[in-house]
Amino acid sequence: MREGYDKLRKKHRVPFDGHFSVADAPTAPPPDTDDDATLKKRLRRINQELYELQRLQYADGRHALLLVFQAMDAAGKDSTIRTVLRGINPAGCRVVSFKQPSREELAHDFLWRCNAALPPRGTIGVFNRSYYEETLVVRVHPEYLAHQNLPGKTNTDAFWEKRFEAIRNYERYLADNGTLILKFWLNVSREEQKNRFIARLREPRKQWKFSPHDIAERQHWDKYMHCYEEALRATSRPWAPWYAIPADSKPYMRVQVAKTIRKALKTMNLRYPPVDAAVAENVDALIAELERS
Ligand code: ATP
Ligand code: MG
């Protein structure tokens, strides 16, 4: 089991004791936050550090990092993934987006499709949406459960608690096997979501991102917030913490996400693997041999 979870970043972290409250989680940055230009510059610097750290993570090869992003529409999942991970060697990082499940995926247990997409050790895996949808959109729309053909009673309190328990056990198991999981809830306000939807509709190059379905989902806002609250309370743990990141300012949100990832990579005590003695003790001789060849 990995040590050092207590060294992970604490800012915006969802407590592990089940006392998280969505109503108390800010969507706006704190009042003393730097201006956008300063935040953007800071992110650029962190991008460089993340590049170096990921290089080392790859060479070290003992730890995987799984980043899970969940949010209401237009909170900025895609652009956060793009800007925070920009500069990282694509060979060491893979982003997977989870949409409505296919027939084949529905015929399996709810962790199956995500399990197949987990990052190998030495790399970063990013889930743009995840198995958490099974406790969010599916809970808001329990009629989706009918497609899953599950045995036994569904959509009861006990049923959802079982899903949380399955997720907790699964994440614990992953942690014990070398995967550190950081989960980000990008917490956008209802008002800001509306503004972003309107901006999407006004900008021809962004209209494709808008679906009339997005307006329908907005009507379920309170139910979504209740489901997020329950999911975050039940599944924030030291080895797989949730971070509730204020998302009404994108520059602030991105810096917070980037700092949290940087800290996590730093806690891994990454090191370059030992060099083979046949190489380490004969560097000059090997160079001389190459020069002759
Ligand atoms: P954007 O922010 O650009 O709209 P997106 O992630 O919302 O990106 P979409 O194609 O709009 O992508 O939506 C994917 C949809 O798939 C979401 O509405 C999400 O709730 C749904 N979805 C994801 N996982 C599941 C699941 N397990 N069961 C049912 N629906 C799911
Ligand atoms: Mg969408």
Q: Express each pLDDT in 196-250 by its tens digit.
A: 999 999 999 999 999 999 999 999 999 999 999 999 999 999 999 999 999 999 9
Ligand 1, pocket-test mutation among 95, 105, 129, most atoms within 8 A of CB: 129
Res. 23: pLDDT tops 90: yes
Return the pLDDT at 34.
97
Question: Which structure tokens are listed for 287?
Answer: 């160079």
Mean pLDDT value across residues 286-292: 97
Q: Which protein residue has the closest C-alpha to ligand 1 atom 13?
A: 99
**Distance (Å) from CA 128 to ligand 1 centroid:** 9
Mean pLDDT value across residues 168-173: 98
**Domain encompassing residue 132:** 2-292
Res. 1: pLDDT tops 50: no
Do residues 160 and 230 touch, judged by C-beta distance below 8 A? yes
Whole-number Å distance between alpha carbons of 120 and 33: 37
Overall number of domains in the chain: 1
Looking at the CA of 128, name the nearest ligand: 1
Do residues 161 and 97 touch, judged by C-beta distance below 8 A? no
| CATH label of the domain that carries residue 253 | 3.40.50.300
In three-state secondary structure terms, 179 is strand
> Phi then psi for 240, rounded to 5 degrees?
-155, 65
Distance of CA 126 to the CA centre of its chain: 6
Return the pLDDT at 231.
98
What lines the ligand 1 site, CB under 6 Å? 73, 77-78, 98-101, 129, 133-134, 137-138, 144, 209
The whole-model pTM stands at 0.96
Q: Which ligand 1 atom lies nearest to the CA of residue 77?
A: 2
Return the pLDDT at 4.
84
For 109-135, what is each residue's pLDDT tens digit? Answer: 999 999 999 999 999 999 999 999 999
Q: Which protein residue has the closest C-alpha to ligand 1 atom 1?
A: 73
Tell me the CA distances in angstroms from 134 to 70, 128, 151, 216, 229, one per residue in order: 12, 14, 16, 19, 14
Closest by alpha carbon to 275, among 264, 283, 267?
283
Tell me the CA distances in angstroms from 211 to 73, 194, 207, 216, one per residue in order: 10, 13, 9, 9
Looking at the CA of 74, name the nearest ligand: 1
DSSP 147: G
Residue 88's pLDDT band, with cuts at 50, 70 and 90, is very high
Whole-number Å distance between alpha carbons of 14 and 231: 11
Residue 2's pLDDT band, with cuts at 50, 70 and 90, is low
Q: Percent of the chain having pLDDT more than 90? A: 98
For 140-163, what is each residue's pLDDT tens digit? Answer: 999 999 999 999 999 999 999 999
Please, which residues have CB within 8 angstroms of residue 71's CB and are 6 or more apart in sequence? 77, 184, 185, 186, 187, 188, 247
